[in-house]
Amino acid sequence: MRKLLLITVLSLLPYEALSFQSYADLVENLMPSVVNISSQKEMIENEDIENVMLNPELRGRDTLGSGFFVRNDGHILTNAHVIKGAKKISIITNDNKSFDAKIVGIDNASDLAVLKIEDENPSNKFKAIVFGNANESRIGDIVLTFGNPYGLGVSVSQGIISAKSRNIGLNEQQYLQTDAAINQGNSGGPMFNTEGEVIGVNSAIFTMEGASGVGFSLPSNIANWVADQLIKHGKVKRGWIGIKVANGIDRFTEKPGFVITEINESSNAYKEGLRVGDVIISYNDTPAEDLADFNHLTETMDANQELKIKFLSYGEEASSIIKIQEMPEKELKNITNKALAENALRNIKNTLGEAYYISEFGITVKEAETRGLAIVKIDRRSILKNTGISEGDIILEADRSDIYSVDNLLENIRNAIVDDYRPISLLIQGVDNTFFATVEMVAQND
């Protein structure tokens, strides 16, 4: 009898292990919150429209992406690169209704944008998502990602959180890594937990040859704040204390903390006595251990809020209360441009797809995800040599006009050639700074 009972118990274990939970009810409830986004750009004459929809990487294409309702009045959150250079934005909801949308605000630093459906019927209400707390998620948690892969329509995939706090070279942002399928067209789509809360915005995929199942989502805590700022102000108002810090140790006491590496003399931090070389050991009674948390806190504080700092100056402990300032436009532009350059560098390292050769300059470029053309390769005899321009830099402007496509740059080059090979002024974004470079044009047979 004992043997029979043991065999019966063991036979049940494989069945229990193989049993699975269906997410059909949850997915059905979440689908109405997710939308397909098509942002129309310049079209090339006689281009095959059907091919454009099947292959959104064709020039003159409709860029396809995803988004989700964050307000029931039609506000939608998506990635900024999904609507880059768009002349017209179309939204298709889960019930197959189509709407035009306008841009409410763009934040390139986080690669997020908010759209608003232009609906003539104000009684229409859309199903908004609920943001969860990404900080409470754990590695191994099951997640569902929604998107519009390859323009096929809203699709859902299931996986787990593979890692947290991943820095993928995008302006020090920390991302959730997942093995749930995130493909081209999923950008801007939501990542849900099994409670039906959004804990991330699908933002990037790792595309190095041979890699698969590696996607990244911007945590909901950041996305929720950015969305709220864009809806309220049309831009993101970031807090600023005027310092740059790095993990380090006080050389006098050997206590760990955040070493101040740069300080703006017009900032309140400087006025309160902080200096380069000082070591912050706590802020608002929180030990100075997590640099990302510190930067996120200061950026998300409102102007005139107070931050309590305890620091070491030449080994002597001191404290100060710093009134938060709104980040100056110049500082905001710097972090935005740095994000653009780092984003381009990541793309260049991961894939050389969509590369175009500009023979007039002797360079190979590809479209950066958010703005401009990333320089993949500079030829040995390129006329860009000795201009300070390097591989990985982004061409943002040519002769004071924005550059958002290869055709756009070629048009500027053609204009310079027609005008007796006059010099072209380029606005270049490097990893560390933005600068103008003058390129002396020469005839191809010179």
Give catalytic residue positions: 81, 111, 187
Find tokens 């110049």 and name the residue: 330
Instruction: Give the number of other CB atoms < 10 A from CB of residue 293.
Output: 15
- Under a CB-based contact definition with an 8 Å cutoff, are residues 297 and 283 in contact? yes
Find tokens 């709104």 and name the residue: 326
Q: What residues have CB less than 8 Å from 238, skipping those under 6 apart? A: 299, 300, 326, 327, 332
- Under a CB-based contact definition with an 8 Å cutoff, are residues 399 and 412 in contact? yes
Sign of CA dihedral 62, 206, 134, 171: negative
Give helix 291-300 / helix 220-233 axis angle, nearest 10°: 20
Element (H, E) at 408: helix 406-418
Backbone angles phi, psi at 368, to 5 degrees: -70, 155
Counting Cα atoms < 13 Å in the Cβ hemisphere of 134 gives 25
Cα–Cα dist 90/434, whole Å: 33
- Under a CB-based contact definition with an 8 Å cutoff, are residues 297 and 213 in contact? no
